[in-house]
Amino acid sequence: MIKVKSLADLKKMRESLQAKVDLREKGEAAENLVQIKVAMATCGIASGAKVVMDYLLEELEKRGINAVVTQTGCMGYCYAEPTIEVKLPDADAIVFGYVDKKKADEIIEKYIKNGELVDGIIPVNYESIDDK
């Protein structure tokens, strides 16, 4: 990889980026993209959410999947961190718990590519004992 040391170097890389952007933005509204939210509160970060987010950003780019990866706060599933919420176009969002690199790879390959559910889903009807 070329060394990117100064802002001028960043500027140089811009042209190659611009080409990619044009390609992407054609007819790609956010709702047509895979949307992933990584829980990044203290609990998530302490359990390795950053590693997972790094991995997702790199791998989705490498595997050519058009996705938006964003951060979110604590979803209340601290015991199951790192957690990620995946929303495929035209599907309900699903929260996966205990996500590490291996799990993230499985989620990309099986769920995001083929829509096949994998272990580790946190049921939506889950309520903590305090809510009862």
Partner 1 sequence: MKDLSLHVLDIAQNSIAAEAKVIQITLYFNRGNDYFELVVKDNGKGMEKDFLLRVTDPFTTTRITRKVGLGIPLLKRNAELTGGSFSIYSEPGAGTILTARFIPSHIDCLPLGDLAGTFALLICSYPKINFIIEIIVEKTRFCISTKEIVEAIEGVPLSNSSVYPLVKEFFNTNLEGLQITNLG
Q: Choose between 10 and 117: whose C-beta lies nearer to partner 1.
A: 10
Q: Choose between 41 and 122: whose C-beta lies nearer to partner 1.
A: 41
Q: Phi then psi for 130, rounded to 5 degrees? A: -70, -25
C-alpha 126/C-alpha 43 separation (Å) is 19
Which one of residues 26, 31, 35, 71 is an interface residue with partner 1 (CB under 8 A)? 71
> Cβ 116 to partner 1, closest distance in Å?
24
State CA 102 to chain mean position distance.
Answer: 14
C-alpha 44/C-alpha 41 separation (Å) is 5
Which one of residues 34, 40, 52, 95 is an interface residue with partner 1 (CB under 8 A)? 40
Q: Choose between 1 and 92: whose C-beta lies nearer to partner 1.
A: 1
The interface with partner 1 within residues 74-113 (CB under 8 A) comprises: 74-76, 78
Q: Which H or E run includes 71?
A: strand 67-72
State CA 54 to chain mean position distance.
Answer: 9
The CB density around residue 59, as the number of other CB atoms within 10 Å, is: 16
Contacts to partner 1 by CB under 8 A: 1, 3-5, 7-11, 13-14, 17-18, 20-21, 24, 40-43, 45-46, 50, 53-54, 57-58, 60-61, 67-71, 73-76, 78
